[in-house]
Amino acid sequence: MYNKFMRLLFAISILLTSMQMTSAEEEVLTPLQFQEGANAYEVEAISSGLSDLIKDTFEHWFSESHFIYPPRCSSDVNDCRKNLDFNIKFETASVDLNNDGKLEVIVYYNAPAYCGSGGCNSYILEEDLGSFIVIGEVFPGSKINISNLTSNSYRNLHYYGTNSSYSCKFQKDKKKYKC
């Protein structure tokens, strides 16, 4: 009788251990909640980490895609004029992706002549020696889930859309996410 009881206890403990291992490996995804605009910390990240991208976007818009063309006016207007109408819209979310106590900033970058029919890119910015660097790019970048699982100490990201989905994992040797 004692042996049967011990075997039952042993079987139950193995079953419980395997259930705990399975649940520890189970992935939990949390949708990233973007907010329109940027707070002070996010503004600092954008101005530091995306300044070259913003300059390049403006230069392209100004000299190649929009402003270079004459204004559109009806034929009955004698003095047809044009103003600069350049606008970048940011949607941002801040989350600690590597559990270092500092927030990484994810920026959905909606700029003229930059986004296509599939959407716009999102950029992942990380603070590095007093400035911010781009450590990842997700396209399309509007629907991102944050995983509880990690790669090289950074939380995995998942894009999901109508026709596709994929994962982004941090590559330690490149110091960037690869999607």
pLDDT at residue 141 is higher than 60: yes
The per-residue pLDDT for 71 is 74
Q: What are phi and psi of 127, to 5 degrees?
A: -70, 135
* Rg, C-alpha atoms of the chain: 24
**pTM exceeding the 0.85 threshold for the entire prediction:** no
What is the torsional sign of CA 172, 177, 100, 145? negative
The per-residue pLDDT for 77 is 63
Q: Grade residue 9 by pLDDT with cuts at 50, 70 and 90.
A: very low
Give the separation between CA 164 and CA 43, rounded to whole angstroms. 31
Structure tokens at 68: 């270079």
First vs last C-alpha separation in the chain: 57
The per-residue pLDDT for 83 is 76
Give the separation between CA 97 and CA 157, rounded to whole angstroms. 9
Structure tokens at 36: 């329109």
pLDDT at residue 14 is higher than 80: no
Instruction: Determine contact, residues 147/73, Cβ cutoff 8 Å.
Output: no
Q: Grade residue 5 by pLDDT with cuts at 50, 70 and 90.
A: very low
